[in-house]
Structure 1
Amino acid sequence: MLKNRLRAILLLSSVIFLSACKDDALLNNLTQEQANQVLAILLQHNIAAQKNGTLKAGYSITINHADATAALSIINQYQLPRPADVQISQAFPEGSLVASPNAEQARVLSMQEQRLEQTLKVIAQVVNAKVHISYPPFDNGPGNKRPAGHVGVLISHKGDIDENTFIPQIKSLIKNSLNDIRYENIAIALFPASSIQYASPTKAPTTLSGVWVWLPAVIVLFAAITAGYILLKFSHRPHPATGSGTEEVKSE
Structure 2
Amino acid sequence: MNMRYLLLALLCFLLPLLSGCKDQSLLTNLDQRQATEIQAVLQKHQITSTRKALGKGLFDISVKKEDMGIAIQILEEYQLPTLSRIEVTQLFPSDALVSSPQAEKARLISAIEQRLEQSLLTIDHIIDARVHVSYPISPTERIIPTPHASALVFYEEGMLDNDQLGEDVKAFIHNSFNDMDENNITVLLYPRNINKFNIINNQIHQNNPDTFFSSWLFISLLLVIIVVIITTLLIIYRRKKAQREENNDKSDF
Q: Deviations over 1:3-45 (max 9, x none)?
A: 8898777666655554443211112222222222221121111
Q: Which amino acid aligns with 1:128?
A: D
**What SS class does the counterpart of residue 207 from structure 2 fall into?**
helix
Aligned equivalent of 1:174: 173
Q: Which amino acid aligns with 2:161?
A: D
Larger mean Cα displacement after TM superposition, 4-13 or 66-75: 4-13
Q: 1:210 to 1:27 in 2, by over 3 A?
A: farther
Structure 1 residues 134-153: aligned runs within 5 Å: 134-136=134-136, 138=138, 140-141=139-140, 143-153=141-151
Q: Which has the larger radius of gyration?
A: 1
The normalised TM-score by structure 2 is 0.71
Q: 1:163 to 1:62 in 2, by over 3 A?
A: same
Aligned equivalent of 2:46: 46
Q: 1:53 to 1:206 in 2, by over 3 A?
A: closer
Aligned equivalents of 1:198, 1:4: Cα separation in 2: 49
Identity among equivalent positions (%) equals 32
Q: Deviations over 1:181-240 (max 9, x none)?
A: 11121111111235465799xxxx99634538967x96xx99xx9xxxxxxxxxxxxxxx
Q: Which amino acid aligns with 2:111?
A: M
Higher relative contact order (CA 8 A, sep 6+): 1
Contact (CA 8 Å) 1:199, 1:206: kept in 2 or not?
no
Shift of 1:67: 0.8
Contact (CA 8 Å) 2:78, 2:128: kept in 1 or not?
yes
- Structure with the bigger percentage of helix: 2
Q: Which amino acid aligns with 2:163?
A: N
CA RMSD of aligned residues (A): 3.4
Could you list the runs of 4 or more consecutive aligned residues of structure 1 that deviate by over 3 angstroms after TM superposition? 1-21, 194-200, 205-215
Q: 1:170 to 1:199 in 2, by over 3 A?
A: closer
Aligned equivalent of 1:229: none
Aligned equivalents of 1:13, 1:197: Cα separation in 2: 37
**What SS class does the counterpart of residue 184 from structure 1 fall into?**
helix
Contact (CA 8 Å) 2:34, 2:81: kept in 1 or not?
yes
Q: 1:189 to 1:212 in 2, by over 3 A?
A: same
Q: 1:173 to 1:42 in 2, by over 3 A?
A: same
**What SS class does the counterpart of residue 184 from structure 2 fall into?**
strand
Q: Which amino acid aligns with 1:43?
A: Q
Q: Which amino acid aligns with 1:172?
A: A
Shift of 1:76: 1.7
Shift of 1:80: 2.1
Contact (CA 8 Å) 1:199, 1:209: kept in 2 or not?
no
Q: Which amino acid aligns with 1:66?
A: E
Unaligned runs of 5+ in 1: 226-252
**What SS class does the counterpart of residue 133 from structure 1 fall into?**
strand
Aligned equivalent of 2:207: 208
Structure 1 residues 73-92: aligned runs within 5 Å: 73-92=73-92
Unaligned runs of 5+ in 2: 225-253
Aligned equivalent of 2:109: 109
Q: Does 1:188 align with 2:192?
A: no
Alignment length (residue pairs): 216
**What SS class does the counterpart of residue 28 from structure 2 fall into?**
strand
Contact (CA 8 Å) 2:157, 2:193: kept in 1 or not?
no
Q: Which amino acid aligns with 1:149?
A: P
Q: 1:57 to 1:4 in 2, by over 3 A?
A: same
**What SS class does the counterpart of residue 118 from structure 2 fall into?**
helix
The normalised TM-score by structure 1 is 0.71
Q: Does 1:159 align with 2:163?
A: no
Q: 1:96 to 1:109 in 2, by over 3 A?
A: same
Q: Deviations over 1:35-90 (max 9, x none)?
A: 22221121111110111216536211111111101111122222222232212333
